Amino acid sequence: MDAEGVWNKSLSLLENKLNRPAFEIFIKRIVPVSIDDTRLHLKIPGTLSMDYLGEYKSLIQDAVSSVIGKQLEIVATQDKTSPVPSPEPDNELTAGPRQQKKKKSTYLNPKYTFETFIVGASNRLCHAAALAVAEAPGKAYNPLFVYGGVGLGKTHIMQAIGHYTLETRPHLNVEYITTDAFIHEMMSFVQSGNLLNFRNRYQKSDILLMDDVQFIQGKERTQYEFFQIFNAFFEAKKQIVVTCDRLPKEIPTLEDRMVSRLNWGLIADIKPPDFETRLAILRKKIELDETSDIPESVLELIAETVTTNIRDLEGTLNRVVAYANLSKREVSLPLTEEIIRDIVPSKDTSSINVKNILKEVSSYYGVDVDDLLGQRRKKEIVAPRMVAMYLARDMTGLSLSQIGKDIGNKDHSSVLYACEKIEKEMKKDPSLRLGVENLKDKLSR
Ligand code: ADP
Ligand code: MG
């Protein structure tokens, strides 16, 4: 068998083992070069390297071994010729007359670049997808749909695509907008009777970065306008990147046609970072902020304690540094312990009650509170009702029977059943887990 034969067989093995986004991003773009008795030589596109592939490296190794029937050394070289950005204006991407204006990149946060983004197991897929998109906008994956809980780096990675594009293809117009701003802007154009101008505005852009698209729920008019813009971009092969706190199909009231559009390209998730990644992020942050004199043990303590998300992680470090400055003390382990003791258990749960839980669950899943409280057995209602019970159990300290009384007059065994069911399902169903995490986060703010 030649290299190509071996690689193709390995591909089908790998395809069965991996989910589609991981397969597309990490495996499919690799090209076989040559094979001999001891080695298989592969070419890896663009910025990826074999080390970067992390756990996928051993999966490749296993697949190749089982095709060949013995261990081969895998040698990989980076393929610098593949999608490296072209310095020439790319005609496919510039609809209409070329804009020679100075780039307005001020709406992008200058800190949110690829250089400052730490890659770990929790975000590698998303990072690689974002790079692929930045290197070949409109070609690699369109749309790119990034989802994950709050504070995990969605906005950061999305804006990194924007910065990269402005640097490597300055003739392109990058449009970054939060969905909230999009809605307000559209409303003001509607009110002044200038909807056409609103649509035209987007025709001038080459790359659309739409942040937090979950806020489009329940906004029919906005969905319609976004759908039109989306289609125009897609047809002109212009890149669309969307972030969201959940999967498209879980945005209540999002029209089916919109869900299917968002599913067209690649869906990449960001998970909460592990300890190593949290520590690396803190190290990077003190390097960037040029904050010196922070002992490693302090960073380790923060990385160990603050596990929720990266925003909280950075917030805690900032607080420690600010506190040390104010009290004219050095940043030390005892000082950090003092502060962490103050903030971590201070998650004030007293304001979390069944009423708030029902309200948040209702708006998250797009189900009426009355339905959550009622007896209807429709699946779309039963699942959110169970989530509400689970959250009440987890966050309020009320007894099972009290929760049952408050949510639809059920007995304590129904509540217990719901809690166990949700716990079990969360292990199998990442989007349910994400939903529960999002809700917990909303409730504890
Ligand atoms: P989200 O949009 O998912 O809520 P953000 O992109 O706003 O999260 O990220 C929150 C904070 O964490 C930002 O300051 C961002 O720079 C930082 N951050 C997130 N992910 C990373 C990462 N992988 N490396 C470095 N900093 C990160
Ligand atoms: Mg964000």
β 144-148/174-178 pair status: unpaired
How far does residue 153's CA lie from ligand 1's centre (Å)? 3
C-alpha angle 201/188/211, rounded to 5°? 60
* Sheet strands (E) in 93-194: 144-148, 174-178
Residue 370 CA to chain centroid, in angstroms?
Answer: 32
Q: Which long-range contacts (CB under 8 A, 24 or more apart) does 26-30 make?
A: 26/53, 26/56, 26/125, 26/128, 27/56, 27/60, 29/82, 29/132, 30/60, 30/76
What's residue 53's pLDDT? 78
Helix (H) or strand (E) holding 434: helix 430-443
* SS3 (DSSP) at 103: coil
Q: Is the CB of 45 under 6 A from ligand 1?
A: no
How far is the C-alpha of 95 from the C-alpha of 236, rounded, in Å? 8
Q: How far apart are CA 384 and CA 28, in angstroms?
A: 38
Which ligand sits nearest to residue 285's alpha carbon?
1
Cα–Cα distance for residue pair 433/423, rounded to 1 Å: 9
Q: Looking at ligand 1, which residue's alpha carbon is closest to its atom 25?
A: 117
In short, whether 130's Cβ falls inside 6 Å of ligand 1 is no
418 ligand 1 Cβ < 6 A: no
Cβ–ligand 1 distance for 281 under 6 Å, the answer yes
Using 50 as the pLDDT threshold, list the residues of the chain that sit under it.
Answer: 82-102, 346-347
Query: Is residue 388 within 8 Å of residue 407, measured between CB atoms?
Result: yes
- Could you give the C-alpha distances from 327 to 281, 323, 331, in angstroms and in order? 26, 6, 10
DSSP type of residue 223: H
Query: Looking up tokens 């490749």, which residue turns up?
Result: 60
pLDDT at 56: 84
Cα separations in angstroms, 265 against 109, 209, 436:
26, 14, 26
Is the CB of residue 255 less than 8 Å from the CB of residue 225?
no
| 117 ligand 1 Cβ < 6 A | yes
Ligand nearest to the CA of residue 310, numbered in listed order: 1
Residue entry with tokens 């009384």: 405
- Separation CA 21–CA 126 (nearest Å): 9
Q: 433 alpha carbon to ligand 1 midpoint, in Å?
A: 20
Beta bridge partners of 75: 41
Q: How many CB atoms lie within 10 A of CB 136?
A: 20
Measured by CA distance, the residue closest to atom 21 of ligand 1 is: 153
Residue with tokens 């217990």: 416
Structure tokens at 173: 């117009």
CA angle at residue 304 from 299 to 305, to 5 degrees? 100
Phi, psi dihedrals of residue 239, rounded to the nearest 5° = -75, 135
127 CB less than 6 Å from ligand 1? Answer: no
> What pLDDT score does 224 carry?
93
Distance 436 CA to ligand 1 centre (A): 20
Question: Which ligand is nearest to the Cα of residue 180, counting in written order?
Answer: 2
Select from 269, 277, 246 the least CA-distant residue to 117.
277
**Is residue 226 in contact with ligand 1, taking CB distance under 6 Å?**
no
Measured CA to CA, the distance from residue 17 to residue 13 in angstroms comes to: 7
Q: How far is the CA of 316 from the centre of ligand 2 (A)?
A: 18
Residue to substitute in 246, 310, 318, 437 for testing ligand 1 pocket (most ligand atoms within 8 angstroms of CB): 310
Q: 384 CA distance to ligand 1 centroid (A)? A: 29
SS3 42: strand
Give the angle 73-75-77 at the CA atoms, nearest 5°: 175
Instruction: Tell me the residue length of the chain.
Output: 445
Alpha-carbon span 259 to 330, nearest angstrom: 52
Interhelix angle 275-289/296-305, rounded to 10 degrees, is: 130
Global pTM reads: 0.79
- What pLDDT was estimated at residue 80? 64
